[in-house]
Amino acid sequence: MATIIRVDGTEENLEDLSLESLQKAVGGYIEIVQTNDGRLIVLDEEGKLKDKPVNSKATALTRGIVCDWDLTVGDVVIASHRELD
């Protein structure tokens, strides 16, 4: 099951993975990034422009994918390829 990881560190299961539900969960247009372990992270593609706070848990999962110093901001959704297919 997909999981929302909020900036405050709390997690919540997400069953509805429609585009509208994902946009609501992350608070904007979605961008999908693959983690090093093959999971997918759905995030707000404009999160940094909106000055959203850093999501420490999500940053740990994305560290090194683009570059080692990049930060992931805002609430994110973690899902498998199968769930988002």
- The answer to whether the beta carbons of residues 6 and 25 sit under 8 Å apart is no
Higher pLDDT, 38 or 48: 48
What is the arithmetic mean of pLDDT over 57-81? 86
Helix/strand/coil (H/E/C) assignment for every residue in the chain: CEEEECCCCCEEEECCCCHHHHHHHHCCCEEEEECCCCCEEEEECCCCCCCCCECHHHHHHHCCCCCCCCCCECCEEEECHHHHC
Residues facing 30 on adjacent strands: 44
pLDDT of residue 62: 82
pLDDT of residue 66: 59
The tens digit of pLDDT for each residue in 39-63 reads 999 999 999 999 999 999 999 888 7
Q: Can you tell me the distance from the alpha carbon of 24 to that of 34, in angstroms, rounded to the nearest whole number?
A: 20
Q: What is the pTM of this model?
A: 0.91
